[in-house]
Amino acid sequence: VAGWFAGRAGDRDDVHLDVLDLAEFPLPADLAVAPDTPSERLVRTLGQRLAGADGFVVVTPEYNHSYPAALKHLIDTYREQWFAKPVGFVSYGGMSGGLRAVEHLRAVFAEQHAVTVRDGVSFHSANAADFAPDGRVTTGAAPAAAAATALLDRMGWWGRALHRARTVEPFQS
């Protein structure tokens, strides 16, 4: 799902994508790590990448009516990096298509002073057979593509608007 969405976003000239796969960033459970250790450098590097972004699209599955613990840990590890930035969602899961996970995430990101975008993409009852090896959607491609376009359009608008606002008046929590 993430590869498919990254491909859609990569087709646009108004989107500059930095894909962060949480599997590549195993955040330490104890964030009170010693300075200049691999764990501290990982936390610092990831924080710098998040701080440099003008917005985020979270691709998440739904597990037990919510989102994965690794995603919660990422969100809670950082604070200012989320402030006054748009967050969009691409979700997948069983019958709900991950929408219950997204609803939980909206409340969490609101607490981080982020602006969640209404438009999103959801894949209901998705499985590996719904995607070709090159990442193309093989089932329900037209609605998914239209939803991705709407999400990216909204992210662009909010990203530009909030970037201008943060430039004129830095966000204070």
The pLDDT value given to residue 128: 80
Identify whether 173 is part of a domain: no
42: domain CATH number is: 3.40.50.360
CA angle in degrees (0–180, nearest 5) for 13-19-21:
165
Identify whether 136 is part of a domain: yes
Can you give the residue range of the structural domain that contains 5?
1-168
Identify whether 6 is part of a domain: yes
Order across the sheet with 86-93: list the strands.
56-61, 86-93, 115-124
The pLDDT value given to residue 133: 81
Run of H or E residues at 124: strand 115-124
Identify whether 118 is part of a domain: yes
The pLDDT value given to residue 58: 98
Identify whether 147 is part of a domain: yes
Task: Give the tens place of pLDDT for each residue, 99-157.
Answer: 999 999 999 999 999 999 999 999 998 888 888 887 788 877 778 999 999 999 999 99
Identify whether 9 is part of a domain: yes
List C-alpha distances in Å: 139 to 8, 95, 106, 161. Answer: 16, 15, 27, 35
> Beta strands of 48-112 (E only): which ranges?
56-61, 86-93
The pLDDT value given to residue 156: 96
Task: Give the tens place of pLDDT for each residue, 11-48.
Answer: 999 888 899 998 888 888 877 778 888 888 899 999 99
pTM: 0.92
The pLDDT value given to residue 118: 97
CA distance 89 to 101: 10
Average pLDDT score over residue span 57-71: 95
Identify whether 78 is part of a domain: yes
Strand, coil or helix: 115: strand
Work out how many domains the chain is built from and give that number. Answer: 1
Identify whether 151 is part of a domain: yes
